[in-house]
A and B are shown apart, each in its own frame.
Chain A
Amino acid sequence: MTAIDPEVVDWSRAQFALTAMYHWIFVPLTLGLSFVLAIMETLYVKTGDERWKEITRFWMKLFAVNFAVGVATGIILEFEFGTNWSNYSWMVGDIFGAPLAIEGIFAFFIEATFFAVMFFGWSRVSKRFHLVSTWMVAIGSNLSALWILVANGWMQHPVGMAFNPDTARNEMVDFWEVLLNPNAVTKFLHTVSSGYVLAGLFVVGVSAWFLLKRKNTLLAKRSILVAGSFGLLASVYLVVLGDASAYVVAQDQPAKLAAMEGVYRGAERQGIVVFGLLDPDKEIGDGQAPFLFDIEAPYMLSLMGFHDVNAFVAGIDDLVYGNPERGIEGAASKIAKGKRAVAALAAYKEAKEAGDAEAAAAARAELAALERYLGYGYLEAPEDIIPPVPLTFYSFHIMVSLGFWFIALFLVILFLLMTGRDLGRYKLWLRLALFSIPLGYVAQEAGWIVAEVGRQPWAIQDMLPVGVATSDLDAASVTVTFWLFAVLFTALLVAEVRIMLAQIKKPAASGEEGAHV
C-alpha cells in the first residue's frame, strides 16, 4: 500500500464540493417552496377564492422549473462515492444502505405519484385530492432530505455502529440510534428550515420585483403575506435551533466549534465574535491574538455550547496541545493511541492470515480498547486535527449575519404590508428584498461550507480522515471530470435562471392594479 497522492485527495474533495454545492442550489428551494405552495393551495380550498388558485399555479410553474433542472444533479454524488471515495464507501456501506434505500423509495413513490397529480391534475382530480397531493409532495420531499441528512449526521458523529475488522466495515447495531443521532436531528431541522427561509426570500423577492414594476400586485401582496410569514417563522426558528446546533457541535466536534468562532485559547465565560477580522499571520500555538479587530458578545459561546455562562470552551491550542487542567487530551496523545489502534488492526489481520487465534484475539481486544482513536493513527502532526480556520470562521459569520438580516427584512416587509401601507412606494425595501434572493443562496452555501469544511480532516469524525478515504486514482482524470461537471452544472444554472426569468416576466392572471390583499 502506498500513500494516496495528495493531489488526488484535493481534486476529489474539490469535485465532491462542486457537485454538492451545485446540487444544493436547487434542493433548498424545492424543500421550502413546496410548503409555500401547499399553504397557498390550502387557502384556495378553504376560501374558494380562484385568485389563490392562480397564485398557487404561478409559483408552481417556478417550482417545476427548479425541480426539473435540479433533479438528478445529486446522482453524480453517489457515483463519486464509488469512484473517488471507495475506501470510505466500503466502510460506511452498511450504515448508509438503510437510510439511502428509504430515501430512494420515498423519492420514487412520492415524486412519481403525487408530483404528477400536483402538476397535471388540476382538472382531473377533486380539489381536496389535489391539495392532499401538494402536501404530500412537500412532506415527501422533506422526508427524503431527512434520510440524506441522517447519513451526513452519522459522518459528523458516528453512533449506533460497530467496526468489524474482518470486513473493514462499520456495521449498524442500532438503527434508532443512527436515526435519532442528535447531530442528524439538528442538522435535518436546520437544513430544511434554511430551505424554508430561502423559499420565503425567493417568493418575497420576486413579488417585490412585481411591486417595483407595478404589475401583478394582488399576486405579489398575497404571496408576500404567505411567504414572508413562512420565511419569518423559519428564520426565528433557525435562531432557536442555532442554540441546539451549537450544543451538539460543542459536544461532538469541539475543533469545528473553535474554528467557527476563531477561539485559539480556551476560556470560561467565552463570548461569541459578532464581527471579527482574523489575523492572517496567526499560527496555532503562537500565543498571538487571533483577531486584528473584533466585537464580542460576552458569555454567549459558553451559554450556547454548554448551556452554562461559566462553562469552559476549549480553544484550538487546548485541543491541539492538550489542557490537563481541563481534562483535555492533546492531539499528540490521540495520534499515538491511533497509531497503536492501526497497529492492532494490522496485527489482527496478520494473525488471522496466520491462523493464530490467540494473537488475533489479543489484537482485537487492543483494537477495541483504542478504536475511538483509530482515525488519529493516520494523522502526522497534532495541528492536522484543525480545519481551515478562516474559511470556516468567515462562512459561519456570513451565514449567521445573513440570517439576522433576513429576519429584519421579513419583519419590515410584513409590517409595511399588514399595516396597510402602499408597499409599492417603499422602493428601497423592495429592492433590498429582490437583492436578498442571491443572498439566500450565499447563506445556504456558507452553511454547507461550515458543516463540511469545519469537520476536516475527517470523512468520518475521529475514524477516517479524507486522505485514507480516497481511491488511488489518476489525478488528471479527476481534474478532467471536475471541469466537465463545472461546465455542465454552470450551463444548467444558466438555463434555470433564464427559464425562471422568462416565466416571471409573463403576466399573471390576477394582477389587477391596486388590488387588496
Chain B
Amino acid sequence: MNESYEGVMKRKNEILNASVGVDYEKYLDEHGMFDYEKMMRDVPYDIDEIARIQNELGVGSTPLIELKNISKLARKISKPGKGARIFIKDEACNASGSFKARRAALSVYHAKKLGYKGVLAATSGNYGAAVASMAMKMGLKAIIVQECFDSNQIGQPEIVEKARKCESYGAEVIQLTVGPELFYKALSLLEDTKFFNASLYTNFAIAGIETLGYELVNQCRSQVGKEPDLVIATNAGGGNITGTARGMKKAGCNAKIVAASVNLEGLHMASDRDFNRKSFTTGHTGFSVPFTTWPDRSDVPISAARALRYLENQYTVTQGEVFYLTEMLAQLEGLERGPAGNTSLAVAFSLAQTMDENEVIVVQETEYTGAGKHHNSQLSFAKENGIDIVFGNPQDCVNGKTIVFPNSIEEIKAVEYSRRKLEKSLVRNFLNYNGFKVTSSVTKFLSEEINSDVSTVKDIIKELEGENESK
C-alpha cells in the first residue's frame, strides 16, 4: 500500500467512509446536491435517548447560572431601562470539563455499538479530552492526534495541558509540529488501526450537542419563567452553533442565536512562527471564518456542522477582552473557568447593554480551567513570547504583538462581522470547489446553506460574476 502523503490522500474518502461507518454518497440527490436534513434524520437516536445516554456517562444536565454581578455592571453603563440579564450554562460540569463531552458521548457510544475497538480524534482542544474520557468509560482504545509544538519543540500550554489530560485517562496522544499534514497522519492511523473516526463533524457529534440547546430552553422556562431572548455561542468549527440551535428548535424555541469568535486577524494558522503567538487555540476567527464559509473542509466528506444555516450574525471580540471577562467571571461571580469558553461572555457583556433589562441572554458554555489553560498561564506564556500586555482600547491591539486590556468596562465592544460577507464567501467557495454550474437546484441548496431566499443567492452570484469580470 502506498503510504506516502499523495498515496494516503488519494484514498481519503474511502478511509473516511470506512472509519465513520457512513456512506455519504446516499445523501446526494440526482443533481449532486446534499440533503442535510436527511443526514441528520439518519442519527438513530432521538433527543430523549441521547440525553439518557449522556446522563449515564456523566454528561449533560449542567446548571444554568444567572451572572447577577456581571449583569449589574453592564446595567451601570447602559442607558436607563437597558442591560439584559446574563445567564451562563456551566458546561465545565460535564465529564472532562466542556460541552465537547456531549459530542464525544454520542460518537463514542455509536462507535461501540458499531463494533469498533477504538476511536481516533484529530484535535488539539477540549474534544480530545472528551473523546478520551468517553472512550475509557466505554472500554474502547483512544488515539488523540494534536498539533502541539512549533519547530523548536515549544508547546502551546493549553494544548500541552490537553495532552496531559488525555494521557490521564489512558489515551495515546500523538503530538505533531505545526501543519495541516496532521490530517494525513490521522488518515494513516485510521487506516492502520481501523478505529472509528470520532470526528467533530459527523451527524452523531452534532446530534450530541442538541441536548445543550434543548436543556437551556427548558431551564430558562422553569428557572426564569420565560424563554431566552438571545443565545450566544462561541464559534470555531460551527458545531456548537449548529447543535445548540437545532436543540433549541426541538424544544420549540426560535430565539435568536449569534456566534462569538476571538478576532485573530493577522496570524496565519499554518505558520510555525505565529503558532505560539496566539493566546487562543480555538474559538477564534482563524477557524470560524473558514469553517462557516466552507463547512466541508472538515475531516469527514460532508460536515454536519453548518453554522450559517442557524446563526443570526457573528460578532468578534479581542483576546484582551476575553481574558478580561474571564478574570471578571472569577472575581465577581466566583466561577474560575477557561478563557476560550468565555468568548461568548465577552460578547454578551457588550450586547446586554443594547437590550432591555427584562430580557434574557444565555451564554451557552463554560469550559474547565487548570494549569496551562488558565488565563494567567496563557498570559505569562504570551509575555515570554515577547507579546506586550497593556491597558488601552482593545481595538488597538495587534495580534501577535499586543494584548490590550480595556481601560474601562465601557471599552468592551463586540464588533459585528458582516453576515453578507460570510454568505458571499460560502457561495463563492461552494461554486469554486464543486465546479457546479448555476442551476435552480444549486441556488435552492445555497439558499438553505445561508438560511435565506433564492433571490439573495442570485444577487450574490451576480455580484461575484461582476467581480470576476472586473478582474
A binds B: no
Residues on B facing A (Cβ under 8 Å): none
